[in-house]
A and B are shown apart, each in its own frame.
Chain A
Amino acid sequence: QSVLTQPPSASGTPGQRVTMSCSGSSSNIGSYSVNWFQQFPGTAPKLLIHSNSQRPSGIPDRFSASTSGTSASLAISGLQSEDESDYYCAAWDDSLNGVVFGGGTKLTVL
């Protein structure tokens, strides 16, 4: 299983605000920045958030993220049908000397 723990699924209705969590430990989230990726089926992932809470250019401000201790969360406000996708968190881990990912959360827009 994955070093970072994410719930396998989440859901919401259009316009709603949804959050998804990412839980780690002191060797990863507790010490290093968290990054979030969005991936649609059959396509490469896309960087959504880096450095815990920073959006790359072109990412709508409906997407936000935060960290606290050894956990992180991604929030999507004003949910849209096109947000239906898989979301992954990732961070450096100094006990493994590598990047670790969460198992991913599949977001369904009802």
Chain B
Amino acid sequence: QVQLVESGGGLVKPGGSLRLSCAASGFTFSDNNMNWIRQAPGKGLEWVSYISSTGTTIYHADSVKGRFTISRDNAKKSLILQMNSLRADDTAVYYCARGGYQLPRGAFDIWGQGTMVTVSS
């Protein structure tokens, strides 16, 4: 079935780095743009990063620009978020989400289960 599975979360010290992965299955990964969205404990949803289906167009939220990098490997059906210079306010559940095929940006039709990132000393 169509599925996204995140991994790589954990506890990291401020200033540290973490690499999140999202493994896709059950659909043609290269057809869809992909996104990372996060949710701090008890808070709302915050979009983090977008990458187009071919990887040629990338956007990052201002809050992570210069620190986070999104990338993808269509052959491996994998989405990556490299997170550097982590701060306490990056603590959140990070979701991988698929942009619906031929749907407007922001129409995230498939979500992973999320992976928790905790930034603390």
Q: CB within 8 Å of B: which residues of A?
A: 2, 32-35, 37, 39, 44-47, 50-51, 56, 88, 90-92, 96-104
Contacts and interface: CB of A to CB of B under 8 A. Distances in A.
A50 B114 contact: no
Nearest to B45: A101
Given A96-B62, A101-B46, A90 B106 contact: yes
Contacts of B35: 99
Given A44-B113, A98-B59, A99-B50, A51 B45 contact: no
A56 B111 CA distance: 14
Interface of B: 35, 37, 44-47, 50, 59-62, 95, 100, 103-109, 111-114
Contacts of B112: 44
B114 A44 contact: yes
A35 B61 contact: no
Nearest to A33: B104
B44 A103 contact: yes
A88 B45 contact: yes
B79 to A, nearest CB: 15
Contact of A50 (B59, B104, B111): B104
Contacts of A88: 44-45
12 contacts: A34-B106, A37-B108, A46-B111, A47-B109, A50-B103, A51-B103, A88-B44, A92-B105, A98-B61, A99-B37, A99-B105, A101-B46
Contact of B107 (A35, A39, A103): A35
A35 B104 CA distance: 9
